[in-house]
Structure 1
Amino acid sequence: MARKKAGASVDRPSFRNLMTFRLHMVARFSEGISEEYYRRHLGLSLPECRVIGITASYGSVSFKQVAADAHLEKSYASRVVSSLVERGIIEKQANPSDSRSVLLQLTDHGKTVHEQTYALALRLNEVLQMPFTRKQGDDFLAFLGQLDQQLKRVSGVVEDVDALGKVPRIESAPAPETRSDGAMMLDRAFAQKLHDMLGRYLAENP
């Protein structure tokens, strides 16, 4: 029986090869890029942009719903909303169905900020998808839709290892939305920095 040569590489189990680990690392890296991107162009944090986008999608929405959709702790979400109110981007209105709560909606200035934010988001998505074909992008969005559904199913039984094996697979997911072109260009320096950061990440995570 042949022995392995001294110093030969040995495949060892590693968290780095697991989908959950890679997903977390990519998500953190993506959030870091987005945070710098929106602060550079609009002076807004990523959570502030999320709250603006969520509020715009509803038109008028409760604070509780915004916090839940943005996956923010209520105390932190409250600070984010207060900051946007102080800047005249969001305003609070009385909730006719619940006197103990308020409804949030964008001001006229907030609607302009949302348009700028959305244009920037489209452009950033366009840049990140440049290395991939249209089909690869659509397949990835479909996969994310399936993964989102599976995570929601798993979340109810995650404390029970045996029950995890009984969570059904998702066989299909809604078709991804058609992408549109962004109306705002990245400045050359930031685009180069984004390219370099992505290059380093892919080199370190083959």
Structure 2
Amino acid sequence: MPRLSLDQFLPYRLSIASNRVSGAIATAYQALFGLKIPEWRLVAVLAEEGAASQQALGVRTRMDKMTVSRAALTLVERGLVTRTANPADQRSQLLSLSASGRQLYDEIAPKALAMEAELMAGFSDAERERLTGYLVRLEQAAERIGTGHS
């Protein structure tokens, strides 16, 4: 029977890598912009895709309802996001970036790209493309396992 070696166990390695990358980025976003990672994710999605319900944001970011709700509330309180009635569903509201939110995104996006470039500096273009492809395939495999469709 094969033995589990945590340091060689892919889910563990992915978790460690994710935690280290997220931690470094979270520290920078907090220090520079006063944003936590969930708040930044909502800002980024709203900047990229436009108005969305909290439910749609949860699906898009893979964050739970409570995390999305807290992040949205913080962003609304800071004046970075506005809420409007959702014409497609009167029980929910649409979140959109305010002018201040758009301005903040425009400041953060170049810094986020610079941090990503720094993280990936030791990789060739081909290696970056392969890594992205591998990650997409891992996400798809995890989705199949999670839904019971192997």
TM-score where L is the length of structure 1: 0.68
Identity of aligned residues (%): 27
**Rounded Cα–Cα distance in structure 2 between residues aligned with 1:35 and 1:80:** 14
**Rounded Cα–Cα distance in structure 2 between residues aligned with 1:110 and 1:47:** 14
Q: Deviations over 1:165-200 (max 9, x none)?
A: xx2xxxxxxxxxxxxxxxxxxxxxxxxxxxxxxxxx
**Rounded Cα–Cα distance in structure 2 between residues aligned with 1:50 and 1:13:** 34
**Rounded Cα–Cα distance in structure 2 between residues aligned with 1:21 and 1:103:** 36
Q: Could you tell me how far 1:66 is from its partner in structure 2?
A: 0.8
Query: Structure 2 residue aligned with 1:116, among 82, 100, 107?
Result: 107
Q: CA RMSD in A?
A: 1.4
1:141 aligns with 2:132: yes
1:125 aligns with 2:113: no
Alignment correspondent of 1:101: 92
Q: Could you tell me how far 1:68 is from its partner in structure 2?
A: 2.2
TM-score where L is the length of structure 2: 0.92
What number of residue pairs does the alignment pair up? Answer: 148
Contact 2:42–2:57 under 8 Å retained in 1:
yes
Name the SS for the 1:105 alignment partner: strand
**Rounded Cα–Cα distance in structure 1 between residues aligned with 2:120 and 2:143:** 26
**Rounded Cα–Cα distance in structure 2 between residues aligned with 1:19 and 1:76:** 26
Query: Structure 2 residue aligned with 1:32, among 23, 28, 53?
Result: 23
Query: Structure 1 residue aligned with 2:66, among 58, 61, 75?
Result: 75
Contact 2:38–2:67 under 8 Å retained in 1:
no
Name the SS for the 1:141 alignment partner: helix
1:51 aligns with 2:51: no
Give the residue type in structure 1 aligned to 2:28: Y
Q: Which runs of 5+ in 1 are unaligned?
A: 1-11, 158-162, 168-206
Name the SS for the 2:11 alignment partner: helix
**Rounded Cα–Cα distance in structure 2 between residues aligned with 1:132 and 1:99:** 48
**Rounded Cα–Cα distance in structure 2 between residues aligned with 1:100 and 1:141:** 38
Name the SS for the 1:132 alignment partner: coil
**Rounded Cα–Cα distance in structure 2 between residues aligned with 1:19 and 1:129:** 20
**Which is higher, the Rg of structure 1 or of structure 2?**
1
Alignment correspondent of 1:196: none
